[in-house]
Amino acid sequence: MEGRYHSIESFGNVDGPGTRMVLFLQGCPLRCLYCHNADTWLMKDGNTITTDEVITRFEKNIAFYRKGGITVSGGEPLLQIDFITELFTKLQAKGVHTCIDTSGAVFQPGNQHQEEKLKQLLAVTDLLLIDIKHIDSAKNKILTGQPNEHMLSFIRFVDMQKVPFWIRHVLVPGYSDDQDDLYQLGKFIGDLNYAKVLEVLPYHRMGANKWDMMGMEYPLETVIEPSKESVMEAKQLIFKGIAERQAERRAAQKN
């Protein structure tokens, strides 16, 4: 099967455990104001690659991936769910660790056909990296172009399938760093059973040049990258929410 892709990073170290091949698929329904991969947005801009070609590229450097594996990122990789399912089915049969980096923005709660496809994919997926862009739906719409209810439903769906995932949150000053929002984000995460790692990533301007090259005005021109201290503080607020929600759950179980 063929997929449309943007690029391949042979030795990625930030998209999942260990050293990984990272396949960036083309196409994304979101328009995040801080997007560092704006050139992945349109499906037509990508090139094609087959699952066997991906595997051949992977096996060329397989010695480096023993403690890592493969991550499929984007864009929004779940736009090409059949392609990933075929790829991961072949790779898992070879013992390769498989990971998807997604926002869940394509999830349609109640769409049974899609849920069946997702279950097939999750059956051959070892880990997900899930972006929660914003816990507040109205602010999520400002930041990404879409409200967040379906994205949060996606996370609950993955949690119910008992597949482990990491949560990622990009801290954008003035957009996603409100103290109560961070605390509420923690409360949401505290309700989940398979969230294993929390990463708070500082907003950075590294993708701004792509906006320029595409003839678009970069919307966060005046936003300054957050300090290490504010990232730490944000993480602490989220952990406070997680701890409190988990304590509430334990108390409810006792009663």
Which residues form the interface with ligand SF4 (CB under 6 A)? 28, 30-32, 35, 37, 40, 74-76, 103
Identify which of 197, 124, 118, 135 has the alpha carbon closest to the alpha carbon of residue 165: 197
Q: C-beta of 217: minimal distance to ligand SF4 in Å?
A: 16
Handedness of CA 25, 156, 16, 120 (dihedral sign): negative
Contact 41, 89 (CB under 8 A): no
Q: Judged by CB, which is closer to ligand SF4: 40, or 140? A: 40
Q: Which is nearer to ligand SF4, 75 or 186 (CB)?
A: 75
Give the nearer residue to ligand SF4 in terms of CB position, either 52 or 212: 212
How far apart are CB 34 and ligand SF4 at their closest, in Å?
7
Q: How far is CA 74 from CA 16, 85, 166, 175, 182, in A?
A: 14, 15, 17, 22, 25
Give the span between the Cα atoms of 240 and 246, in whole angstroms: 10
Query: Could you tell me the smallest distance in angstroms from the CB atom of residue 131 to ligand SF4?
Result: 7
For 101, list phi and psi in degrees, rounded to 5.
Answer: -105, 110
**Measured from the CB atom, is 41 or 65 closer to ligand SF4?**
41
Nearest approach, Cβ of residue 104 and ligand SF4 (Å): 10
Nearer to ligand SF4 by Cβ, of 37 and 85: the residue is 37
Whether the CB-CB separation of 68 and 17 falls below 8 Å is answered with yes
Q: How many CB atoms lie within 10 A of CB 167?
A: 23
Smallest distance, ligand SF4 to C-beta of residue 30, A: 4
